[in-house]
Amino acid sequence: MRSLALLLGVKAACILLVSSLSGTGAVNNSGRWWGIVNVASSSNLLTNSKNVQLVLDPSLALLSRRQRRLIRQNPGILHAIAAGLHTAIKECKWQFRNRRWNCPTTHSPAIFGKIVNRGCRETAFVFAITSAGVTHAVARSCSEGAIESCTCDYRRRGPGGPDWHWGGCSDNVDFGRMFSQEFVDSSERGRDLRYLINLHNNEAGRMTVSSEMRQECKCHGMSGSCTVRTCWMRLPSFRTVGDFLKDRFDGASRVVYANKGSNRASHRADPRHLEPENPAHKPPSAMDLVYFEKSPNFCSYNGKTGTLGTSGRTCNSSSPGLDGCELLCCGRGFKTRTETVTERCHCTFHWCCHVSCLNCTSTRTLHQCL
List contacts with ligand NAG (CB under 6 A). Answer: 27-28, 30, 190, 192, 194-195, 316, 318-319, 358-359
CB of 130 to ligand NAG, least distance (A): 16
Tell me which amino acid residue 64 is: S
Choose between 45 and 110: whose C-beta lies nearer to ligand NAG. Answer: 110
Q: Select 80 or 289, whichever has its Cβ closest to ligand NAG.
A: 289
Task: Indicate the residue among 38 and 187 with the shorter CB distance to ligand NAG.
Answer: 187
Gap between the Cα atoms of 98 and 113, Å rounded: 19
Counting Cβ atoms within 10 Å, is residue 185 exposed (0-12), middle (13-18) or buried (19+)? middle
For 10, other C-beta atoms within 10 Å of its C-beta total 10
Q: How far is the CB of 203 from ligand NAG (least distance, A)?
A: 17
- Closest CB to ligand NAG among residues 148, 192: 192
Residue 225 or 318: the one with the smaller Cβ distance to ligand NAG is 318
Q: Closer to ligand NAG at the Cβ: 244 or 334?
A: 334
Return the SS3 of 276: strand
Beta strand 334-350 with 290-291: parallel, antiparallel or unpaired?
unpaired
Instruction: For the CB of residue 5, give the shortest distance to ligand NAG in the complex, in Å.
Output: 30
* CB closer to ligand NAG, 28 vs 311: 28
Alpha carbon dihedral 162, 167, 168, 169, in 10-degree steps, equals 110
In the complex, the smallest distance separating the C-beta of residue 186 from ligand NAG, rounded to whole angstroms, is 14
Query: What's the min distance (Å) between Cβ of 364 and ligand NAG?
Result: 9
Q: Which residues contact 332 (CB under 8 A, 6 or more apart)?
A: 299, 311, 369, 370
Q: How far is the CB of 121 from ligand NAG (least distance, A)?
A: 17
Closest CB 162 distance from ligand NAG, rounded Å? 48
CB closer to ligand NAG, 28 vs 105: 28
User: Is the alpha carbon torsion for 291, 293, 294, 297 positive or negative?
Assistant: negative
Which strand (E) or helix (H) includes residue 85? helix 77-95
Which CB, 190 or 296, lies closer to ligand NAG?
A: 190
- Shortest Å, Cβ 352 to ligand NAG: 20
19 Cβ neighbours under 8 A, 6+ residues apart: none
Q: d(Cα 230, Cα 83) in Å, to the nearest integer? A: 30
Angle between helix axes 193-211 and 173-185 (nearest 10 degrees) is: 160
CB of 199 to ligand NAG, least distance (A): 11
In angstroms, the CA 340 to CA 317 distance is 19
Q: What is the full DSSP assignment across 286-322?
A: TTS-EESSPPP---S-BTTTTB--STT-EEBTT--ST
Q: What's CA 196's distance to the chain center, in Å?
A: 18
- Residue 328: CB atoms within 10 Å: 26
Give the 3-state secondary structure of residue 338.
strand
